[in-house]
Amino acid sequence: MSLTDKDKAAVRAMWGKISKSADAIGADALGRMLVVYPQTKTYFSHWSDLSPNSAPVKNHGKNVMSGVALAVSKIDDLTSGLMALSEQHAFQLRVDPANFKILSHCILVVIASMFPKDFTPEAHVSMDKFFCGLSLALAEKYR
Amino acid sequence: MVEWTDFERATIQDIFSKMDYEVVGPAALSRCLVVYPWTQRYFGNFGNLYNAAAIMGNPNVAKHGTIILHGLDRGVKNMDNMKEIYAELSVLHSEKLHVDPDNFKLLSDCLTIVVAAQLGKAFTGEVQAAFQKFMAVVVSSLGRQYH
């Protein structure tokens, strides 16, 4: 299920529309992930405040979305583009890769809620494929 | 027995009472057929599903989407015994329709996206959690009679 030229164009177009709101999207997606999937809180026991609009959540949401921005810019070769991030997740963070799907879903839900007219089924399929590719590249160095 | 908080009950009743099944049903099913094209395997006799536009304009898809939402309505009205309410439909999906139960989750995710698009800011994390919990129980009940 690799990204076609059509998918890449759709992802770039979508990113063009949503990138100004990247920080807000990241904060909302991360915040709701912690509420909807409470098991994900286990990775953030070192944070003082796990509530949706807290400083750590907002800050980390920004980080996550700059990773997404990087992936968009490296969409032609996600594996090498995300190599450093993959190493970080594999050897330091050791986040179970099942959680990549969970966060991807939350990001798509936020995009749908913020950009209902733009998030058409065609845009959705390309974005879903993109996040699958991103997740796969992020898991590359795990074993 | 599933335990529902007052918030969860109220949220589910609220979302579905305000929903136009004839809009949301078709939107969710057609989105599923576009985003997860292998789900089209169950709709061979629905006519033209060749591209997104054809799927979204297909009257059979629209009709079936509405039927699905009315099926969900049964769960909304019987949140305390969904397993029993869906037993017959579960047998149908297994024995007659031969639907891989993994597909229920795919359709559920598409419905979540459609509801999020409709509710916008009102679709908070807590609302999403309640909605996804309800859908998870539906999905589990529909898969219950498979063997």
Spell out which residues of chain A touch residue B40, defining contact as CB-CB under 8 Å. Answer: none
- Contact flag A34-B119 (C-beta cutoff 8 Å): no
Put simply, whether A98 touches B (Cβ < 8 Å) is no
Q: What ipTM goes with this model?
A: 0.89
What does the pLDDT look like over A18-46, one tens digit per residue? 999 999 999 999 999 999 999 999 999 99
Other Cβ atoms within 10 Å of B11 Cβ, number: 21
Tell me what pLDDT residue A91 has.
93
Put simply, whether A1 touches B (Cβ < 8 Å) is no
Spell out which residues of chain A touch residue B132, defining contact as CB-CB under 8 Å. Answer: 36
Residue B125: which of A36, A122, A125 has the nearest Cβ? A36
- Contact flag B128-A109 (C-beta cutoff 8 Å): yes
Contact status, residue B103 vs residue B111, Cβ threshold 8 Å: no
Other Cβ atoms within 10 Å of A104 Cβ, number: 20
Percent of chain A predicted with pLDDT > 70: 100
What does the pLDDT look like over A80-96, one tens digit per residue? 999 999 999 999 999 99
Q: How far is A70 from chain B (nearest CA, A)?
A: 24
> DSSP letters along B48-95, please?
--SSHHHHHH-HHHHHHHHHHHHHHHHHHHTTT-HHHHTHHHHHIIII
